[in-house]
Amino acid sequence: MKLTNNRYYFDYNATSPLSNSVIEWLARGDFFYANPSSIHTSGKESQKIINSVGHFLFKHFHLNGGFNLLFHSGATEGINTLLKGAISKLSKRESGVDFFYWGTDHSAVVNSCKNLNYNYRFNKIDSNKNGSCDLSKLLKQLEKCDQPAIVNFTWVNNETGIIWPLKYIEEIKKKVECFIHVDAVQSIGKVENYRQLSSLVDAYTYSGHKFGAIPGSGFSFVKEGYPYQSLIEGGDQQEGNRGGTINTMAIHSLEIALKEMNEKIDVKDAKKAKRFIEDEISKLMGSKGIIVGKDADYRNSNTINILIYGFKADQLLMDFDLAGMDVSIGSACSSGLLKASSVLQEMGYNQEDSKSSIRLSFSPYLTYKDAQEYLTKITPIIKKYV
């Protein structure tokens, strides 16, 4: 299936097209333009929409009491607010704070908490080639902390599609006291149980443009008692938790997009279709390349990271592009210089190999028929390199 610009779009992890129901709603034009903080009738109507989206989100994600909902502009803002804010708040106490993250986390996690002028320790959790960690080692590190700890887990890695098993959180919470934030951005529609959230986690963050809502919208669930500190100061919108006029239209689109996803999604089928593409690519590559993380215990339904030894990712990307397919590279390319993917390096790949992988991230609604069609387009490119 092609997009309206006649391209094959395999970059859903970067951003997804608007969902059909959001497009239909926008085409109808029945918008809520009034400021929900205004006390006139139209403002109250907008506020009603915000409240009803809030109720929907709690129900949709099976979270009852004990959590607050924060609307923001997307996951980068949500993550900065929750992680930087908590580090800042806790480090004001005498004891300081320990922050744990993974080198494979999104730059929104790694960079927002780097080089802060606070009393905190920055602890990196080591990742292995399957994108997992040694849980007992992490538990020992946490047990040794003599000050409050905040830990970030990324549920689904955006470059590899590897799922971090949230069930480990139970073990961690049983043994140590710490605040846990989950970057859940890539989970929606790509993990079988994405709606079933654990109330053991202290905060979750999501981004609307990753699942068909209007870009510039996102939300976080934040447990009562989490060391919350507002990042965006301004008016007292959202009970003073985030200044700035609330984006009613974008927030409304979150509910519309999630409802459509829930009605249409079949994660198991999409996963099978993805596996079909991936197995065929593996066969074509033989020993000349690998699918990154293929042996990981848990993987999502839409992401394939292909590493072909000895070739540069930007060269591969150009070939896909010329053949009408939008794919992405984890390795950043600036001023003509290709940088190695930090995610792959963190997983133990060397510099050269970390410059040789491309990511295909399909629609979460991928079908077997789509997969067959896509494979006929992908095969000639892979064959050129192996």
Q: Which residues bind ligand PLP (CB under 6 A)?
A: 13, 74-76, 106, 108, 154, 158, 183, 185-186, 207, 218
On the 0-12 / 13-18 / 19+ scale of CB atoms within 10 A, 173 is middle
Question: DSSP for 72-95?
Answer: ESSHHHHHIIIIIHHHHHHHTSTT
Q: How far is the CB of 265 from ligand PLP (least distance, A)?
A: 19
Q: How far is the CB of 111 from ligand PLP (least distance, A)?
A: 11
d(CA 75, CA 207): 5
Considering beta carbons, is residue 74 or 364 the nearer one to ligand PLP? Answer: 74
Considering beta carbons, is residue 130 or 186 the nearer one to ligand PLP? Answer: 186
- Count other C-beta atoms under 10 Å from residue 123's C-beta: 15
Q: How far is the CB of 216 from ligand PLP (least distance, A)?
A: 9
d(CA 140, CA 240): 38
d(CA 87, CA 49): 33
Q: HSE (CB half, 13 Å, CA atoms) of 227? A: 19
Considering beta carbons, is residue 83 or 172 the nearer one to ligand PLP? Answer: 83
Considering beta carbons, is residue 74 or 293 the nearer one to ligand PLP? Answer: 74
Q: How far is the CB of 181 from ligand PLP (least distance, A)?
A: 11
Contact between 53 and 214 under an 8 Å Cβ cutoff? The reply is no
Q: How far is the CB of 23 from ligand PLP (least distance, A)?
A: 20
Q: Which of 236, 167, 187 is nearest to 61 (CA)?
A: 187
Q: How far is the CB of 96 from ligand PLP (least distance, A)?
A: 26
Considering beta carbons, is residue 91 or 361 the nearer one to ligand PLP? Answer: 361
Contacts of 302 (CB under 8 A, 6+ apart): 12, 13, 161, 190, 270, 274, 361, 362, 363, 364, 366
d(CA 2, CA 10): 10
Q: Which two tokens stand for residue 87?
A: 């580090």
Considering beta carbons, is residue 15 or 95 the nearer one to ligand PLP? Answer: 15
Q: Which of 130, 97, 124 is nearest to 110 (CA)?
A: 124
Q: How far is the CB of 76 from ligand PLP (least distance, A)?
A: 3
Considering beta carbons, is residue 153 or 385 the nearer one to ligand PLP? Answer: 153
Q: How far is the CB of 235 from ligand PLP (least distance, A)?
A: 23
Q: How far is the CB of 119 from ligand PLP (least distance, A)?
A: 26
d(CA 126, CA 42): 52
Considering beta carbons, is residue 237 or 328 the nearer one to ligand PLP? Answer: 328
Contact between 220 and 206 under an 8 Å Cβ cutoff? The reply is yes
Considering beta carbons, is residue 213 or 308 the nearer one to ligand PLP? Answer: 213
